[in-house]
Amino acid sequence: MIEKKSTRYVLQVENRPGELMKLMRIFALEGIDIRGIKVASVGDIASIEFSAVTAPDFSKLLKQSGLEARIAS
Amino acid sequence: MARPDITQYSVSFRNAPRGYSMLTRLLDKEKIKSEAMHTARCGDRIAVQFLAPKSAKLREKLEKTGAAVQEDRIFQLELPNRASELHKLTKALADEGINILSLYSVVEGDQIRMVLAVDEPANAVALVERLGFDPDYYVFEL
């Protein structure tokens, strides 16, 4: 069986209700398979780190939702 | 058997090398297990989050290192590892104005187990129950 390669992403977003939901909506609409997710927050900033098998235009989808991710590995 | 009163400590500091060093030394001395430890950069601060039995003494010692310390009540739940389920959960919380402060997850087969800290834990647990999930304040190791 061929294991699909996943990528680890890190996002920094405002620490307020609904920011994680924006990301989850993309996952749901695009049928993206999540391998793990972590969220941490300090003050006004939250960090979202996740691993997922994503489509080539994933970064574009994030930007359209007002989220910008850094590829961590 | 009595369930231990587990809390999530969020310890944040600016000076990462010195902060890490003091924190790890303290946790080692206090025999805090670090399996559920998560580190993240939030702006110019480093946040280290870990689960441990609630202790005023530990909090006092953490604060003495100069770090900002926050304690949050946590709960866990399991849900199918499908993006649509995760969206349903996060949308319901967002619609109620509940903010997710932290989240850890472990994928276990077709299920995903999450440990969450939110700004309104009682309201969030009631909401999660209404969604048909089975949240529990008792959190075992991830």
Parse chain A into domains and list their residue ranges: 7-71
| Cβ-Cβ contacts under 8 Å, B96 against chain A | 17
Q: What residue spans in chain B does CATH classification 3.30.2130.10 cover?
A: 6-72, 74-130
Cβ contact, residue pair B83, A21, below 8 Å: no
Of A4, A12, A11, which is closest to residue A50 (Cα–Cα)? A11
C-beta atoms of B40 and A47 within 8 A: yes
Q: Which CATH architecture has domain B6-72?
A: 2-Layer Sandwich (3.30)
How distant is the Cα of A8 from the closest Cα of chain B, in angstroms?
Answer: 14
Out of 3.10.105.10, 3.30.2130.10, 3.40.50.300, 3.40.630.30, the CATH code matching B74-130 is 3.30.2130.10
Return the pLDDT at B15.
73
> What ipTM was assigned to the predicted interfaces of this complex?
0.85
Across chain A, where does the E strand assignment appear? 7-14, 33-42, 45-53, 69-71
Residue type, B2: A
| Whether residue A41 has pLDDT greater than 80 | yes
For testing contact with chain A, the best of B42, B46, B88, B123 (most A CBs within 10 A): B42
The closest of A10, A27, A58 to B88, measured between CA atoms, is A27
For A7-71, give the CATH class: alpha beta
On the question of pLDDT at A48 being above 70, the answer is yes
Residue B68's closest chain A neighbor by CA? A42
| Separation CA B32–CA B29 (nearest Å) | 8
Q: Do B47 and A25 touch (CB under 8 A)?
A: no
The per-residue pLDDT string of chain B (142 residues; one tens digit each, 9 = 90 and over) reads: 456 678 899 999 987 778 888 888 998 898 887 667 888 888 888 999 988 888 999 999 999 988 999 999 999 999 998 889 999 999 999 999 999 999 989 888 889 999 999 999 999 999 999 999 999 987 765 4
Instruction: Inform me whether the C-beta atom of residue A12 falls under 8 Å from chain B C-beta atoms.
Output: yes
Q: Which two tokens stand for residue A2?
A: 């061929």
Strands (E), chain B: 6-13, 38-42, 45-53, 68-72, 74-80, 100-108, 111-118
Residues of chain A in contact with residue B40, where contact means CB-CB under 8 angstroms, are 38, 40, 47, 49
Strand partners, B42: B45
User: Is A70 an 8 Å CB contact of chain B?
Assistant: no
Write the CB contacts of B29 (distance below 8 Å, at least 6 apart in sequence): none
**Cβ neighbours, 10 Å, residue B111:** 14
* Distance set, CA B92 to CA A17, B121, B125, B137 (Å): 10, 14, 11, 19
